Amino acid sequence: MQLLPNKEYQPQITSKPLKNFVKKNVREAIANSALSILILSFVAGFGGAVLALYVAPEFLPNITQQGKFVLEESPQIEENGNGDAQYTPQTAGEGRIVGIVEAVSPSVVSVVATKDVPVFEQFFTQPFGDLFPNFKVPELRQNGIEEQEISAGSGFVAASNIVVTNRHVVSDTTARYTVITNEGKKFDAEVIARDPIEDLAYLRVSNLNLTVLPLGESNALIRGQTVIAIGNALGEFQNSVSTGVVSGLQRTITAGGPGAETEVLRELIQTDAAINPGNSGGPLLNLSGQVIGVNVARATNADNIGFAIPINHIKNAVSQITETGNVKYPFLGVRFLIITP
């Protein structure tokens, strides 16, 4: 065996292995750091969720109370004496509206107009006879008459056995009118008077025996005041309820309908409470349960713009009906006679 010269050992270190070693350790450090961050994030998130679950209820009641929301409670449903579920209003304002609607609804009625109308049937004729036997022309011929409902509106009891509605609801002098109560009872109605200036009319209904609604003071209304509209919406949804505010006062509009003459209505109450065909003649009420207007019209080219006649406009007529049973309207004019020599 040949021995090498005894020289001091000098390790041979190249830069390449060191470079690979550094890269390897950097990658491991990054991976370990990312894993640590991921674990810490999961732990922090889980801990935060647990903390929120146990701590948040201590603060939530204060937040909901300030915002007037009751998030921790569901609507209260109670049972009445019959075992049926009954809703409990959640706020004083809601309870007030519900109470007013329950109190006044029996005195809000539907006014239905019926009339005998001809009934037609279709038949075919042969104008060319046997020359063109298959050429037939349809024609109509009357096949008797039958009673049909021609219109419907709303009204309310303003005096004993007296119902106030709109004139356009009872404008047909040849029709018969029926009042239908909230309970579905039907009564024949007689038109006492049709106001020549205002869109108002007064009906006498024998044996109606419903509570008279209190009349408020329409001159005391202010914009933003809460109001409630009740009526026979679309002529089929009896005693529908909508709420809104007084949007404006002293409005003047030109109103009309299909086949009806237009007329100018003045000093109206504007409201965003829903007023639809069929609501006409129904009451507009304040939060004291007093009638402050008679629903009369709505804007057809916009939403939430309805109008009501101020209740002060009917007080004189109602007073006359109560005292004399009739209404007299003053007028100024000239009468003349033709005298022949």
Catalytic residues: 168, 199, 280
Centroid of chain to Cα 250: 23
Secondary structure string (H, E, C) spanning the chain = CCCCCCCCCCCCCCHHHHHHHHHHHHHHHHHHHHHHHHHHHHHHHHHHHHHHHHHHHHHHHHHHHHCCCCCCCCCCEEECCCCCEEECCCCHHHHHHHHHHHHHHHHEEEEEEEEEEEEEEEEEECCCCCCCCCCCEEEEEEEEEEEEEEEEEEEEEEECCEEEECHHHHCCCCCEEEEECCCCCEEEEEEEEECCCCCCEEEECCCCCCCCCCECCHHHCCCCCEEEEEEEECCCEEEEEEEEEEEEEEEEEEECCCCCCCEEEEEEEEECCCCCCCCCCCEEECCCCCEEEEEEEECCCCCCCEEEEECHHHHHHHHHHHHHCCCCCCCCCCCCCCCCC
The structure tokens listed for 84 are 């049926």
The structure tokens listed for 91 are 């706020």
How many C-beta neighbours within 10 Å does residue 283 have?
31
* Whole-angstrom distance, CA of residue 320 vs CA of residue 335: 26
